[in-house]
Chains A and B, each alone.
Chain A
Amino acid sequence: MRKLQTLMAAAVAVTLLAGCGAGTATPAASGEPSSTSTVPSGETLVVYTNSNGEGRGEWWTAEAAKAGFKIEVVGAGGADATNKLIAEKNNPIADVAFGLNNMYFAQIKAAGALEPFEPAWAGEVDTAVGDTGDGKAYWPLVKQAILLGYNADKFSADAAPKDWTDLWTKDEFKSRYERVTGLGTATAQLVFAGILSRYKDDSGDLGISAEGWKQVEQYFRNGSPAVAKTDLFARIASGEVDMGQMPSSIIAEREKSFKVNAETVIPAVGVPLAVEQIALVKGTKKKAEAGKFIDWFGSADVQAAFAKQFNSMPVNKTAAAQANPDVVKFFSTVKQQDIDWGFVQENMGSWVEKIELEYMQ
């Protein structure tokens, strides 16, 4: 008798999944031909993004719903989203991708998974921070500065480091800064893009001079390794370390949570900027609707509202005027490091590999 019950239970479960799959899959598959107007048709769009954490995903899907768009968000980290888009290029599932920075989108474009397009707001953004190649396939949304921050209660502005290289050349900072234990994150990669591009040397290994690689070696030798699931700010608060890498958008919130007073260093060469972009996935069956969504999402109004809500720095010039004044002021004073992104994109994979294999301890 018991096995009959087991069989029944299994049968019920199988039916459930079949029902679940069929029932929910239908709305995605039913793509009605959309009109050419700017009014959304209400087709479900699948959007891949890494910009859905900390309430952002909920905020913008709700806003999109108000504007008439039906969105399914698939959240994934920058590297995961990149790999997923490239792997799915023969039979794409996503319609739109956004939030990834220019380095990731350059990879996806090179793999042939993006459809070139021009959004309605193309004239309102600085194309120099977007796709600089032919057939522009991704367009800039939000700027993020990758900074070296320090505990201002321990160091005055004069005593603080002036540049990344001070961390391992001056004894007072040795072992007082947090160094990464993996190069899987966009932030870490951008820090190294900032350091290595200063030592560009065509005859050097992977385009970097021996002096440049020595900097990397010293960075790992003298830093205090990051601890999994323990934020840099938590370590600063407990006095374990005093400084480390921080993306500009998180600083205000972390200062408050951990009761840390952080200041940031602006080296003479400037700081690397990560620019989050938006793109149309090649092969989407809902190109018209996806285009309307991009036109809406990148528009000055939406970007300004997003910036106000999450203290971000929009690339859209009209939106920037309405963003948080402190943020705008910071970005107007910060000097952008002049980085040859083509060179960085071409080499980042090999750099990460070399650093992971040879320098990380």
Chain B
Amino acid sequence: MSGASAKSMLRSPFILIVGTVLTWFIAAFLVWPNLNVLLATFFPDGSFSGRAAEKLFSSQRAMKSLGNSFLLAVALSVTVNVVGIFIVLVTHYFKIRGSRILFLGYASTFIYGGIVLAAGYKFIYGDKGIVTALLLKVFPGMDAAWFSGFFAVLVVMTFATTTNHMLFVANALKGVDYQTIEAAKNLGASDWTILRKVVLPMLKPTLFAVTILSFLTGLGALSAPQVLGGRDFQTITPMILTFTNSPTSRDLAALLAVILGVATILMLAVMTRLEKGGTYYSVSKVSSALQKQQITNPAANAAVHVIAYLLFAVYSLPVLLIVLYSFADGAAIQTGQLSPGSLTLDNYTRVLTQEAGLRPFIISVIYSALAAVIAVGGLLFVARLLQKYRNWVSSLFEYLLHIPWILPSALLALGLIISYDHPNPLVGGAVLTGTTVILLIAFVTVKIPFTLRMLKASFASVNSSLEEAAAIMGAKTLYVFRRVLLPLVLPAAAAIAALNFNSMLDDYDTAIFLAHPLVQPLGLVIKANTDGAEGVEGVANTFVYTVLLMVITGLTMYLVYGRSSRRGAKGKRARALPAATAPAAGPSLTEVTGTKEPSAPLR
């Protein structure tokens, strides 16, 4: 099924419709605006100059920062996987005491990030931090500024970016057929062998997808290096942002962005190739829900418990301190001196009684929700088709859909402005600048690559025999999609939508260029109140907004994910998780295909 040719694809009317819409969307909003902005950048007077490359390659600082970004990207791809897989196993696979509480701690990265997260870690491990003060009492001779440079940046970013593991890898783990584990046990495999040879291979599609995301996060690192990198470990993103904002140096920004973009695409190609090398799934037809495993070796068990709780402390301390500091005045936040008497509600009063009030919050919630739903809803079909049909046409589409990963969002926004500030036939002769739609378009496009990757991965982990069975029984393509596939990927789709929603709530880079003057989202208000930024109120406001956003995003995650995981928990008790997530497909299908023996993971 995976080898369907381009010709056979064109025979299905469903594919033709999706394909036409997709072609138009890619041409109008991914290719044309970005081509425009790149042409304007690299061919300012109609002729190309090699100036940008020459300048960049002769700059020691640019090369070093670029190197640092790559180093961080590669290192993060490893460390995030190590920590991410560990916390997923601890919360979802092994029997660990208090795993629900551990989950809450590890899940704190769902709800916050960016500069405030880096600041939170600095409150703890920085030269005036709590842990540093304790360490200094034990080792008086140590360097108070121990937590800086590459090491500090890597540590903070590792712990900050395990969100995708907690959501998607955990979700894929829930889909692992317990019978394969039991079979391996019966054959005498140890805990470690089962994990390595049975469980992890089945998570491969999802692990590949989240690895690409970790790589990308490392390449685009901004706030952690700024706060903790010190003199020796600065990354390339601040330089890209400075040059993007300077019209005469924009070609340098675009070139740097293209270099990072090409690296991302290469990474994507490598991962796609590895993925082709073998998608592992169970062919058992009566799969049963995963049961948590007891670690049999007592020493290993104790060690895993200790590490799990240490990580819990690492994850939850910064959040607690950020909430605490949001009640302190800006001077206390910046000097790190906190006294219980100085905590007041002043910051919250100031932020919440502004004239703009709640309006920006509502606008951002509507925009983010719409963009999240449109991106996920639209790409559900596309991801399915790209996963099912693998030929040159689908690869081309797939790579084109990753264009938003290549350029920084400010350039994407500029591209949309210069392409649609006049009547353009691509959008039916409409002018889009100055309307409320253009920001929505930008939000949707920016979220396409992430959404596509994660959706594709979740389709890949769906057992294809369910679909085949439905087709044999005469179900039409759309019916199979609606009644069989959709229910299976819905938990992942909901999680993706929630993450998309959260990430757009405080967007500034896109909104500053595209927002309608009367419908300004939250990011602009936050910027106005936190900028200049280093001011006293500004920093305090940053913390207040972070906490307020934590409340919104926490609520979103609870609504989307907390409730579904509770449903999952109920299902687990009934020992029928797959049936619970695929109510429509369950009973009838097992009847038809349930005659085969359960077997070990296969290619």
Contact = CB atoms under 8 A, between A and B. Distances in A.
B245 A258 contact: no
B524 A74 contact: yes
Contacts of A356: 61, 239, 242-243, 249
27 contacts: A13-B369, A20-B519, A21-B435, A21-B437, A25-B519, A53-B529, A54-B537, A75-B524, A79-B246, A83-B247, A87-B414, A87-B513, A90-B418, A91-B422, A184-B241, A228-B118, A229-B115, A229-B542, A231-B536, A232-B534, A238-B335, A238-B336, A257-B329, A257-B536, A357-B59, A358-B59, A361-B61
B226 interface: yes
Size category of the binding interface on chain A: 35 or more
Interface residues of B, number: 81
A357 to B, nearest CB: 4
The interface centre, meaning the residue of B223, B410, B417 with most chain A CB atoms within 10 A of its CB, is B417
Interface in A344-361: 349-350, 352-353, 356-358, 360-361
The interface centre, meaning the residue of A17, A24, A86, A182 with most chain B CB atoms within 10 A of its CB, is A17
B557 to A, nearest CB: 18
Contacts, number: 194
A225 B241 contact: no
A154 to B, nearest CB: 17
B247 A349 contact: yes
A17 B528 contact: no
B248 A254 contact: no
B21 to A, nearest CB: 16
A271 B122 CA distance: 36
Contact of A357 (B56, B234, B418, B539): B56
Contact of A87 (B335, B417, B517): B417
Nearest to B423: A91
B248 A353 contact: yes
Interface in B353-392: 354-355, 363, 366-367, 369-370, 373, 377
A183 to B, nearest CB: 6
**Dominant secondary structure of chain B at its interface with chain A:** helix
Contacts of B336: 238
A28 B517 contact: yes
Contact of A229 (B58, B119, B366): B119
Given A88-B417, A231-B334, A353-B246, A76 B231 contact: no
Contacts of B542: 229
A77 B531 contact: yes
Contacts of B118: 228
Given A72-B517, A349-B248, A258 B436 contact: no
Interface in B320-343: 329-331, 334-336
A334 to B, nearest CB: 22
Given A10-B377, A74-B524, A184-B245, 13 more contacts: A20-B436, A25-B518, A61-B355, A76-B512, A77-B527, A90-B421, A94-B517, A111-B247, A227-B227, A229-B334, A234-B331, A250-B532, A353-B243
A79 B486 contact: no
Interface string A1-27: 001000001100110110011001101
Nearest to A50: B531
Nearest to A240: B127
B440 interface: yes
A209 interface: no
Interface string A243-277: 00000001001100111000000000000000000
A201 B422 CA distance: 44
Interface string B211-249: 000000000000100110011001000110111011111
